[in-house]
Every structure is written in structure tokens, then in C-alpha cells.
Amino acid sequence: MAPSGGPRLSGLQKQVLSLYRGFLRAARLKSAEDRRRIESTVSAEFRRNAKQIDHKNFLHIEYLLRRGKKQLDQLRSPDTIGLSSINVTLSQTQRAEP
């Protein structure tokens, strides 16, 4: 019998949640100020992607997961003190359809 308490999550959803939790755990290993900045950046990135990315675009979601895992590995390094994010948009020429 499946435990109640919410909808069943897909494999991709579980991976995304695992990545998010990994970032929060890694942030705990940094200074209080760096932790707040990291948590804010991570939260904003995940929320932005949740709103902007089509939930059926599995290739893009998998790409973001791979990129996120690499960033998480970097964040876990003792030499890393924070994260940054960039917002890349398509140019007008790339958006236009032939």
C-alpha cells in the first residue's frame, strides 16, 4: 500500500527535488551570510525554471538537472563560497519562425 500524503512523483520530479535538497544541504556547510545568499539564489532559480520551462520538455529538464549537478559538485568544494545565476534569452532572430 502506497503511503498517503500527496501525489506520486515521477522520476524526474524526484530528481529535481533531490537536487534542490542537495543544494540546501551544501549551503549549510557555508558561512551564515553565504548560506542565505545561496539559498536565495537556488530558490529563485528553481522557481523561475518551474514557471518558464514546459513540464513536458524532458530534454531541457534533463539538461538542467545535469547542469545543476555539476554546479552542486562545485558548491560542495570548500573553496566555493557562493553561486551566481544568469538569465539567457533567445535573440529576436532566433525566436522568429521561417
Distance of CA 42 to the CA centre of its chain: 6
Per the listing, cell 553561486 goes with 83
What string of H, E and C letters represents the secondary structure of the chain?
Answer: CCCCCCCCCCHHHHHHHHHHHHHHHHHCCCCHHHHHHHHHHHHHHHHHHHHHCCCCCHHHHHHHHHHHHHHHHHHCCCCCCCCCCCCCCCCHHHHCCC
- Cα torsion 27, 33, 48, 83 to 10°: value is -60
Give residue-wise pLDDT tens across range 33-85: 999 999 999 999 999 999 999 999 999 999 999 999 999 999 998 887 666 65
Q: Which residue has the higher pLDDT, 32 or 78?
A: 32
Q: Would the pLDDT of 87 be above 70?
A: no
